Amino acid sequence: MKIKHLGILLLGVSSASAIAELADDKTSRQTLLDVHSEVHFQGSIYASPCVLELSTQEQYVDLGEINARTFHRIGDRSAPVTFNIRLKDCQRGASRSFVNSAGEATQDGKRYYLTGEGAVSLSITGEPDFFNSDLVRIKGDVKGAGLRIFSQDHENLMLNQPKASWVIKPGDNNITLNAVLEATGQTVTAGNFNGLVRLKLEYL
């Protein structure tokens, strides 16, 4: 009988302990339920057919050290320095469809779809040189020269004038341009110089 009584007593003590733990757990849960968490979201949506890569939004192009004896007459140029405009995530251009006329004659005409490529027009803006308005005026110690920008195909980009369009394929694209220092006089003085151009992209 004592053993049974002891067993009941132990069971009673165990039950009391479990009830206490349950009460503590309930309190802990209640405390957790009273804690609030906040999550903030942000982003942006763009409607442009392409994204201008961040690294090409502002560039510093070093034309290097140029020997003044490179220039002997008006129009002489320094060695070209290449820089790039990178466009990312370009969307597909307009699409059109046509019917296979040969198959149409046999009642088996099929409609084909062509995904067009996009195009972008680029123009440069800046302060024109006093002697040649197609060139960008430079500042500093150098006199008798201006900056000229031209395409990879050696087509000059006239200052403040629209440029013929570049074909843009879906995905990533790279527009390669060149910059040179061009003489506007018979002599070009020595010294340091700098210039600024802004590129304007227009999707067609």
Q: Which two tokens stand for residue 130?
A: 């006093």
| Average pLDDT of the residues in 166-181 | 89
pLDDT at 42: 72
User: Is residue 199 left, alpha or beta, with left meaning phi > 0 and alpha meaning psi from -120 to 50?
Assistant: beta
- Tell me the domain boundaries of the chain: 51-91+118-203
Q: What is the CATH number that goes with domain 51-91+118-203?
A: 2.60.40.1090
Stated pTM of the model:
0.64
Under 8 Å between Cβ of 141 and 187: no
- Write out pLDDT tens, residues 124-161: 889 999 999 999 999 999 999 999 999 888 888 888 88
What is the pLDDT of the chain when averaged over all its residues? Answer: 75
Positive or negative: CA dihedral 77, 82, 83, 86: positive
pLDDT the model gives residue 147: 94
Residue type, 114: L
pLDDT digits (tens, 9 = 90+) for 51-101: 888 788 888 999 999 999 999 999 999 999 999 989 888 877 644 444 544
- Residue 190: pLDDT band with limits 50, 70, 90: very high
Distance CA 89, CA 64 (A): 33
What is the pLDDT, as a whole number, of residue 45? 57
- Would you state the pLDDT for residue 35? 63
Residue 121 has a CB neighbour count (10 Å cut-off) of 14
